[in-house]
Amino acid sequence: MRTGAYLRRLAVAGAGALLVPQLGAQTVAITGATVYPVSGPKIERGTVVIRDGRIAAVGAGVPIPAGAERIDATGRWVTPGLVHTGTDLGIRLLRTGGSRETREDSLAGDIKAAFNVADAIDPAALTLPVARLQGITSTLAVPSTGLIPGQGAFFDLAGERVADLVAKSPAVMVIDFSESAKASAGGSRGAVLQKLRRVFRDALEYDRRRDEFRRGQIQPLAAGAEDLEALRPVLRGELPVLAIANRRRDIEAALDLAQEFGLRLVVQGGAEAWQAAAQLARARVAVVVEPLTDVPRFDALAPRLDNATLLRAAGVMVALAQRDDAHFRNLRQAAGNAVRNGMTWEDALRAVTLGPAEVAGVADRYGSLEPGKVANLVVWSGDPFEFSSRAERVFIRGRQVPPVSRQTELLERYRTLPPAY
């Protein structure tokens, strides 16, 4: 009870910080920076003009509109805001001792296709300001646990109400093909596929015979009507499947199932994806790689740090992501390590901006600095992947977010001891 009240108070304080009115015009011109639009080559001494939450112009020698707020970014680097994939930002905090009170990302049961995490996001979640300080401006947040954990949603990491920050919902249907799904299916990888096939067939059946279903003139189906209904866009190839799979065999099983049922597929994890690179390239299936994964498990006995590099070399589209115990703050470290292990810097930048926007199906609005796109961008003191660099200014939907979090407040409180309370 007390913890809950405390968290709520903090949440209100966090929201308060966000409500600081944005001074100045709605038009902002960032000038003099090295601009990495991702959609095109880098621009030296470039200008980015933001108007009404969108990018209005990008280039060298772009005219600056009258009345625009000017930000001199000489010597700075400007990139699109980083996009993190497969996170629990906004839907989960504590892992133990209080996890129930701070966890919204998981339901009981095995088939939860109708569950959408967008309905669970808390715009005041304490993780969001922490991630923003590292230049992360949006995320594909996903549900967890079960064979079909549910629907993921893509949202911006700033906004007062859920409706203000969600950009695409649902963005993906999460389906688990890995070790962690086995228990939900009865204990074997074979049963995972068997159960998924039955659920998919029943979803098609339900779609064809919903009247009979309502009248009860149909055999019991493998999932509830709501969940079967939610699978409809998946089986029409409209809503992509984010397939959690690490073992080569599981990746191939997901590819086969996708072909059988006409699914659009993205692989999440893919620790052994480098072994299936040619098939993934042929099927045009993207992989969300965690580039720091190299410890063997029976789920994947052959992970390697240059997984992303090998996949790119085979022509596979890659997004980078990384789970970490600092609440998904270390995406740029993950990207830096991908470069350390052979990926080109440009590929790595794409894999934390436009790549994940493609995975979430929002590349028309996110992931690059192009006129008309949502103005999520970061002014960095230097190379965004280096620890020595800092996100100096972070813009989300055209507004600069205050560089504060609960942690910056703790720092200031304890910077000199004893603290002044």
Partner 1 sequence: MLVAACAGASVVGPAPSTDRPQFASTYQRRSHPPVLIRDATVLTAAGPELAKASVLFADGRIVAVGSDVAAPADAVVVDGTGKFVTPGLIDTHSHLGVYAAPATSAEADGNEATRPVTAEVWAEHSFWPQDPQIPLAVAGGVTVIQVLPGSANLIGGRSAVLRLVPARIVQEMKYPGAPYGLKMACGENPKRVYEKTGPSTRMGNVAGYRAAFIEAERYGAKWDRWRKHRTGDPPDRDLRLETLAGVLRGDILVHNHCYRADEMAQMIDLAREFGFRIRSFHHAVEAYKIADILAREGIASSVWSDWWGFKMESFDGIPENAALLEQAGAIAIIHSDSEDGIQRLNQEAAKAMHAGRQAGIAVSREQAIRWITRNPAWALGIEHSTGTLEPGKAADVVVWSGDPFSVYSKAEQVYNEGRPVFDRSQPNRQWRTDFNLGTGEPGVGR
Size of the site for partner 1 (CB under 8 A): 48
* Bridging pattern class, strands 241-245 and 166-176: parallel
How buried is residue 302: exposed, middle or buried, by Cβ count under 10 Å (0-12/13-18/19+)? middle
Of 189, 187, 155, which is closest to residue 172 (Cα–Cα)?
155
421 lies in the site for partner 1, by CB under 8 A? no
Determine contact, residues 284/240, Cβ cutoff 8 Å: no
346 sits near partner 1 (criterion: CB under 8 A):
no
252 binds partner 1 (CB under 8 A): no
Query: For residues 317 and 265, what is the distance between their CA atoms, to the nearest angstrom?
Result: 12
296 lies in the binding site for partner 1 (CB under 8 A): yes
First-to-last C-alpha distance (Å) of the chain: 25
Q: Hey, what are 359's tokens?
A: 């995975």
Residues linked to residue 393 through DSSP beta bridges, in sequence order: 379
CA distance 319 to 287: 6
Candidate residues 27, 79, 116, 127; the one interacting with partner 1 per rule CB under 8 A? 127
The verdict on 248 binding partner 1 (CB under 8 A) reads: no
- Matching residue, tokens 């009870």: 1
Q: Is 330 in the site for partner 1 (CB under 8 A)?
A: yes
Question: Do 85 and 138 touch, CB atoms closer than 8 A?
Answer: no
Nearer to partner 1, 113 or 125 (CB): 125
Q: Which of 77, 177, 206, 385 binds partner 1 (CB under 8 A)?
A: 385
Out of 1, 163, 417, 420, which residue is the one contacting partner 1 (CB under 8 A)?
Answer: 417
Q: Does residue number 5 form part of the binding site for partner 1 (CB under 8 A)?
A: no
Residue closer to partner 1 by CB (options 50, 287) is 287
Whole-number minimum distance, CB 307 to partner 1, in Å?
7
Q: How far is the CB of 205 from partner 1 (least distance, A)?
A: 39
Output 32 or 403, the one with its CB closest to partner 1.
403
The candidate with the shortest Cα–Cα distance to 314, out of 335, 345, 283, is: 283
In whole angstroms, give the CA distance from residue 74 to residue 95. Answer: 42
Does residue 170 sit in helix, strand or coil?
strand
Nearer to partner 1, 252 or 294 (CB): 294
Please give the angle made by the CA atoms of 321, 102 and 387, to the nearest 5 degrees: 35
The DSSP call for residue 119 is G
Query: Burial code of 104-141, b = ≥16 C-beta within 10 A, e = fewer?
Result: bbbbebbbbbbbbbbebbbbbbbbbbbbbbbbbbbbbb
Q: Which one of 109-117, 201-209, 277-285, 292-300 is the stretch in contact with partner 1 (CB under 8 A)?
A: 292-300
HSE, CB side, 13 Å, CA atoms: give it for residue 112.
23
Nearer to partner 1, 60 or 94 (CB): 94
Instruction: Examine residue 393 and tell whether it contacts partner 1 (CB under 8 A).
Output: no
Can residue 292 be called a binding residue for partner 1 (CB under 8 A)? yes
341 forms part of the interface with partner 1 (CB under 8 A)? yes
Q: Which of 160, 256, 364, 386 binds partner 1 (CB under 8 A)?
A: 386
Pinpoint the alpha helices (H) of 186-330. Answer: 189-208, 210-214, 225-230, 232-235, 248-261, 277-282, 307-313
Q: Is residue 301 a contact point for partner 1 (CB under 8 A)?
A: yes
Q: Does 95 bind partner 1 (CB under 8 A)?
A: yes
Check binding of 418 to partner 1 (CB under 8 A). yes
Nearer to partner 1 by C-beta: 131 or 234?
131
| 298 contributes a contact to partner 1 by CB under 8 A | yes
Does position 97 interact with partner 1 (CB under 8 A)? The reply is yes
Contact between 379 and partner 1 by CB under 8 A: the answer reads no
CA separation for the pair 116, 209 (Å, rounded): 25
β partners of residue 43: 35
13 counts as binding partner 1 under rule CB under 8 A: no
Please name the helix (run of DSSP H) or strand (run of DSSP E) that holds residue 314, with its range, or none. none
Answer for which of 4, 16, 41, 98 binds partner 1 (CB under 8 A) is: 98
Binding site for partner 1 (CB under 8 A): 3, 93-98, 126-127, 130, 292, 294-298, 301-307, 324-327, 329-330, 333, 336-337, 339-341, 385-388, 390, 407, 410-411, 414-415, 417-419
